[in-house]
Structure 1
Amino acid sequence: MRDGRLIYLVGPSGAGKDSVLARLRTLSRPADRLLVAHRYITRPADAGGENHVALSEHEFLQRRDAGCFALHWQSHGLHYGIGREIELWLAQGLSVVVNGSRAHAATLGDSCPHAEVVEVTAAEAIIRQRLLARGREDAAAVDARMARNRKLADCPAALRIMNEGSLDDAAQRLLAWARGETRTTCLD
């Protein structure tokens, strides 16, 4: 049995990663042998956005120090982790999609040299509009995120998906990549 593929999904806040992943879960079939990993986050479970495992900072650090995470990073004052269960899934030949971090992607070579970075993004005006519409941050915080987005815009990705149209289109493109049906480097 060959090892599965680790697909490390990145993109700016507001690009629609959570929506694309939620749709991917409904589109994939058992024959795809594809799982989307849950993240462990130091954020309340009812904070909105993705379905995640909520941990206190103390719990997170305990798990990190005990080696429970295959991947972990900090961003926007929160801790994020991906459980070691993905190692079992990959060893079983399953492909695993991880909702990652553009800043952390640069360090993947050490822990996951075969990870495939896929970026979901959109035009700056669309991202700004989405961030304002979701109402989690005021305009100043959105401006700060937009400035950070520009600094991280050069994240190297094997595939770039522009999520500006139909959510189904973006999710289908990610699914086609995960299935190995396409190996082009940019899908607009």
Structure 2
Amino acid sequence: MSGKLIYVSGPSGSGKDSLLRHAREQLSGHARICFAHRYITRAADAGGENHVALSPGEFAARSNSNLFALDWASNGLQYGIGAEIDHWLDKGLTVVMNGSREYLPQARERYPYLVPVEIAVPEAVLRERLLARGRETPEQVAQRLQRNRLLERSSSQLEIIRNDGDLKEAGQALVSLILRCAEQS
């Protein structure tokens, strides 16, 4: 494969979806860059992510038919990245995907040349964002923060984008990184 895979991850509440949306808008129509959709076993209108909603049965059928390049389970949901990314990478394109920090070692095994990017925010900001969105109880937020601490300790060799200030500034940092990768492939 001659393209680059940019694997964007970070804790829930870090602003990954907002930054990926910003980058997609800024790079719309770029001939050498593709944004992969995630296939998720949750409703299409749940969360802020542009994703393809699948029932658990649909997800299992696609997984059993090897239609996912990558797939994993997290927080009671199934996530997949379509096998079409392999075709895009073979064509020399830069592919941007929303990944899981916990699944990064398996993704690196399959795509050893991937560019791991972590969207990072201080714990106090993360706590505030998680509580403000109102999807989890305070106990569930505390569990997410604990999981985040454990995953932060295990991360290495990552491009870090801080997203605790101006969204456009962090978004532009992501766009710049994607463009640099596209120039190298």
Matches within 5 A, 1:128-147: 128-147=127-146
CA contact (8 A) 1:8 1:100 kept: yes
Aligned residue number for residue 87 of structure 1: 86
Aligned residue number for residue 159 of structure 2: 159
Aligned residue number for residue 121 of structure 1: 120
Residues 29, 128 of structure 1: CA spacing in aligned structure 2 closer, same or farther, 3 A cutoff? same
> What secondary structure sits across from 1:117 in the alignment?
strand
Amino acid paired to 2:111: C
Aligned residue number for residue 39 of structure 1: 38
Q: Aligned partners of 1:30, 1:49: CA distance in 2, in Å?
A: 22
> What secondary structure sits across from 1:12 in the alignment?
coil
TM-score scaled to structure 1, two decimals? 0.91
Amino acid paired to 1:106: P
Aligned residue number for residue 107 of structure 1: 106
Give a deviation string over 1:91-132, Cα, whole Å, max 9, x none: 122111110000100112321111110000100000111111
Give a deviation string over 1:59-118, Cα, whole Å, max 9, x none: 101111110000000100110000011111111221111100001001123211111100
Aligned residue number for residue 184 of structure 1: none
CA contact (8 A) 1:73 1:104 kept: yes
> What secondary structure sits across from 1:53 in the alignment?
strand
Q: Which sections of structure 2, spanning at least 5 residues, go unmatched?
A: none
Q: Aligned partners of 2:132, 2:7: CA distance in 1, in Å?
A: 26
Q: Aligned partners of 1:32, 1:149: CA distance in 2, in Å?
A: 35
Aligned residue number for residue 170 of structure 1: 170
Deviates more, 1:105-114 or 1:121-130: 105-114
CA contact (8 A) 1:117 1:156 kept: no
Give a deviation string over 1:118-168, Cα, whole Å, max 9, x none: 000100000111111111111111111011101101322431011011111
Shift of 1:32: 6.2
Q: Aligned partners of 2:71, 2:27: CA distance in 1, in Å?
A: 26
Shift of 1:47: 1.1
> What secondary structure sits across from 2:103 in the alignment?
helix
Q: Which sections of structure 1, spanning at least 5 residues, go unmatched?
A: 182-188
Amino acid paired to 2:170: A
Runs of 4 or more, structure 1, over 3 Å off, are 29-32
Pairing 1:51–2:47 present: no
- Identity over aligned pairs, percent: 48
Residues 148, 4 of structure 1: CA spacing in aligned structure 2 closer, same or farther, 3 A cutoff? same
Residues 161, 62 of structure 1: CA spacing in aligned structure 2 closer, same or farther, 3 A cutoff? same
Q: Aligned partners of 2:30, 2:143: CA distance in 1, in Å?
A: 42
